[in-house]
Chain A
Amino acid sequence: MRELVILSGKGGTGKTTLTAAFASIIENRILCDADVDAADLHLLMAPDIKQTTDFLGGGIAVINPDKCTQCGICIDLCRFDAIKENFEVDAIECEGCGVCVDFCPEQAIDFPVQTCGQWYISDTRFGPMVHARLGIAEENSGKLVALIRHEAKNLAEEKNLDIMITDGPPGIGCPVIASVGGATAMLIVTEPTVSGSHDMARVADLAAHFKIPAMICVNKFDLNPDQARAIENLAEEKNITVLGRIPFDPAFTESMVQGKTIFEYSENSEASRMIRRIWDEIMASPVMNK
């Protein structure tokens, strides 16, 4: 089983659209939506949820006012300024370290485990999908991403599926790092803008840092062909395989509005043709065939 993780650094370059497009033209695949705090893949996949499981994050401090003597030890020890002067815990600031719990001389602080979201195993018209919903303002996004990738891998092995496509989150921080560990390769989807270039370079450096082979494609390349070329040159300097270019096409938005993939909406468009070619290149690449 091989796993391709789709990343971009910059948001809105087309990760989810491409993930859905790939899913619709191949067989024996499983999908994993690792963008757990703004998951969108389900909007195109219309998953039929078969199994829902609570995601338990860490604990969070809760002070019992009946036992608390307001000695102030917890306030002194808390490095996250999460305990207010009235000895109430600011749940948003609490890091879940539990130091206050262990040091409270009155054992007045509880540490209930938090349900931080839910994760799902679903069927879609393009195969099984593992996805999740992290609660608003929750921490532990990396932990949830690692969990659903693990579950998706298990399911893939159980069902004897060849390939897992993981729709990654934007950025280069905690959830992205959790998306790439142990992946076969990553595809960086970028756009021909200075931001797209800058952010692609940061993801490329992340790929090198974690030694994950990376490939790129430039989406909406015709909005600025010179910039597209500059990005491809930069990628080559960083030893990243350049796969191809996808033209700007209003059909992407139109298909999204209808909850369809680009192949279901306009199979014979130039954009669809290019995406199919990019997928063939990915599957023929040495890194996916080790």
Chain B
Amino acid sequence: MIISVASGKGGTGKTTVATNMAVSLGSGVQILDCDVEEPNCHLFLNPEIEKTETVFTPIPEIDESKCTFCGKCVDICRFKAIAILGKTILTFSELCHSCGGCMEVCPENAITEIGRELGVIEKGGANNIDFVHGRLRVGEAMSPPLIKKVRSYIDPDKINIIDAPPGTSCPVIAATKDTNFVLMVTEPTPFGLHDLKLGVEAVKLLGIPCGLVINRSDIGSDDVKKYAKKENLPILMEIPFDRRIAEVYSKGRLVVEEMPEWKENFLKLFSQIEKLAAKE
């Protein structure tokens, strides 16, 4: 079982929901933090890292002694990552999407591949649960390949909870595609609702069942609830604004540990997800 926790808008509480649900469930759970640009789950789980893996993406290295400057590699590259200036050939490694087209098309076999570091994967355990996250290298633009690498650690025998990045573009799709359920965490504000709608559109495109958690549910307006009703989206949990929760979060602590009465709510949330995912 794979549950992805997404939102559209950032800062609505994805990490809070993902970590607290994971810890409430305990053993047999793996949390995969796919918000590789800004991973935060480790701040709340304090995992002991047992394994670190540096992830690379292949980029071309051109042997100038073999290159005849024919320009075929420049022509095939849709990402403008290779340029010829007179008798010099330049590669712009940060623009390369690792498609391998240049190497394939080169008639002189002058191109081999080296690696560009995307970031690291760290794997470990905390509170009886398995933990994996990716950390994008600062300065690296492309997160989807690293997200896919984090997802390669999915354990089919476990409950896998993915903390997805905000937004609706390719990194979110990489994190939520082919999961069994998308839990959208939102807040009842105009920004929350607007971005929720975009997020729900993305989930529809992927054809994955979806439900909502409304965080800070007593601020803002009723518009999110009206939208949920209209779209037939089940509201699986509401978390009211509570200064104590905000303080627990601010210190990097878990709500279910500091306010144990919440554990039952997160377990209930999971059992609803389980039922809805099984329906599909």
Complex Cα spacing A259 to B166, Å: 23
The reply to whether B138 and A205 form a contact with Cβ atoms under 8 Å apart is yes
B140 close to A (CB within 8 Å): yes
Stretch from A122-130, A165-173, A272-280 at the B interface: A165-173
Once the chains bind, are A103 and B40 in contact (CB under 8 Å)?
no
A78 CA / B38 CA spacing, docked (Å): 30
Residue-wise interface mask of A (196-233) relative to B, using a CB-CB cutoff of 8 A (1 in contact, 0 not): 00110010011001100000000000011001000000
Query: B250–A169 contact, CB under 8 A?
Result: no
Chain A residues whose C-beta falls within 8 Å of the C-beta of B177 in the assembled complex: 92
A284 contacts partner chain B, Cβ-Cβ < 8 Å: no
- Select which of B43, B139, B142, B172 is within 8 A of A195 by beta carbon: B43
Residue of B nearest to A199 (CB): B38
Counting CB contacts under 8 A, is A159 at the interface?
no
A157 sits at the interface (CB 8 A):
no
Q: Smallest CB–CB gap between A219 and chain B, Å?
A: 11
From A97, A176, A194, B78 is in contact (CB under 8 Å) with: A97
Bound CA–CA A138/B243 (angstroms): 37
- By the criterion CB–CB under 8 Å, are B140 and A195 in contact? no
Would you call A256 an interface residue if the criterion is a C-beta within 8 Å of the partner chain's C-beta atoms?
A: yes
Contact with A along B5-16 (1 / 0, CB 8 A): 001111110010
- Whether, in the assembled complex, A283 has its beta carbon less than 8 Å from a beta carbon of chain B, the answer is no
B250 partner residues in chain A, CB cutoff 8 A? 191-194, 223-224, 227
**B202 on the A face (CB < 8 A):** yes
- A244 on interface, CB distance cutoff 8 Å: no
Nearest opposing residue in chain B for A59, CB measure: B78
Whether the Cβ atoms of A169 and B105 lie closer than 8 Å is no
By a CB distance below 8 angstroms, the chain B residues around A172 are 37-38, 136, 138
Q: Mark out the residues of chain B between 124 and 155 whose CB falls within 8 Å of any chain A CB in the assembled complex.
A: 136, 138-143
Verify B43–A171 contact, CB threshold 8 A: no
A residues near B97, Cβ cutoff 8 Å: 95, 97
A contact residues, total (Cβ < 8 Å): 60
Question: Whole-angstrom distance from the CB of A264 to the nearest CB of chain B?
Answer: 15
Contact with B173, one of A79, A92, A206 (Cβ below 8 angstroms): A92
Q: Does A209 contact B139, Cβ atoms closer than 8 Å?
A: yes
Docked CA distance A91–B142 (Å): 18
A58 and B189 CA atoms in complex are apart in Å by 35
CB <8 Å contact, B10 and A103: no
User: Which residues of A, 23-74, contact B by the 8 Å Cβ criterion?
Assistant: 37-38, 40, 43, 58-59
Q: Are the C-beta atoms of A38 and B195 separated by less than 8 Å?
A: yes
Q: Which of A5-13, A147-155, A235-243 has 4 or more CB atoms under 8 Å from chain B?
A: A5-13
The secondary structure that dominates the B interface is loop
Chain A stretch 117-144: residues in CB contact (< 8 A) with chain B:
134, 136-139, 141-142
Q: Find chain A residues with CB under 8 A from B99 CB.
A: 79-80, 95, 97, 99
- B221 at interface (Cβ–Cβ under 8 A)? yes
CB distance from B6 to the nearest CB of A (A): 11
What residue in chain B is nearest A137 (Cβ atoms)?
B173
Residues of B within 8 A of A193 (CB): 249-252
Which B residues lie within 8 Å of A198 (CB)?
38, 40, 43
Q: Are B38 and A259 in contact (CB under 8 A)?
A: no
Among A59, A80, A99, A170, the residue within 8 A (CB) of B104 is A99
Please measure, in the bound complex, the distance between the C-alpha atom of A40 and the C-alpha atom of B189, giving whole angstroms: 11
Tell me whether B169 is interfacial, beta carbon within 8 Å: yes
The reply to whether A37 and B169 form a contact with Cβ atoms under 8 Å apart is: yes
Looking at the complex, which one of B7, B35, B98, B191 makes contact with A16 (CB distance below 8 Å)? B191
The answer to whether A259 touches B190, judged by C-beta atoms less than 8 angstroms apart, is: yes
* Those of B251-273 within 8 Å (CB) of chain A: 251-252
- In addition to A136-B205, A198-B38, 13 A-B residue pairs with Cβ atoms within 8 Å of each other are A37-B198, A59-B78, A79-B100, A92-B173, A98-B101, A99-B100, A134-B168, A138-B170, A171-B167, A173-B136, A195-B249, A205-B138, A206-B139
Q: Which 10 A-B residue pairs are closest in the complex by CB-CB distance? A: A11-B10, A12-B11, A97-B99, A171-B37, A194-B252, A224-B250, A99-B101, A174-B141, A193-B250, A11-B11
Task: List 22 interface pairs A-B (beta carbons < 8 Å), by A numbering.
Answer: A10-B11, A11-B11, A11-B12, A37-B169, A38-B166, A40-B9, A40-B195, A92-B205, A98-B101, A99-B101, A134-B168, A137-B172, A137-B173, A137-B206, A178-B141, A193-B251, A193-B252, A202-B138, A209-B139, A210-B139, A256-B189, A257-B189
Q: Which residues of B contact A (CB under 8 A)?
A: 7-12, 15, 35-38, 40, 43-44, 76, 78-79, 97-101, 104-105, 136, 138-143, 165-173, 177, 189-191, 194-195, 198, 201-202, 205-206, 219-221, 243, 246-247, 249-252
